[in-house]
Structure 1
Amino acid sequence: MEKLSLQAKKAYFAKQRKSNYAASLRLEGFKASLNDSDHPLPTREAALNAVRQTKA
């Protein structure tokens, strides 16, 4: 397995932090325009099906 550089790790965590912040804003009812387009949100039905499958 190839080791990741420190720069790659920092970039990954910065991207995750930005994505989490945008999701938090959406949950609070704000419009988040932080370019979170590379991680589209699942539909309501897809999310419900995923939760139902993990509980079964």
Structure 2
Amino acid sequence: MLRWVLIFLVVAVIAAVLGFGGIAGAAAEIAKIIFFIFIILFAISLIGSLLRRGKK
């Protein structure tokens, strides 16, 4: 999932350098959304792992 964040971030930077403001903004927003989804899923996975480890 972080690969997609990096891809959209690179697309946003390249589009910004070339002057495509709308595309750069959209790609940056998509990268932010995917990054926050990754953080939430990571936190859920970490909490689940800690809870399972505590039951043994």
Structure scoring higher RCO (CA < 8 A, sep ≥ 6) equals 2
**How does the TM-score come out when normalised to structure 1?**
0.45
Larger gyration radius, structure 1 or structure 2: 2
Higher helix content, 1 or 2: 2
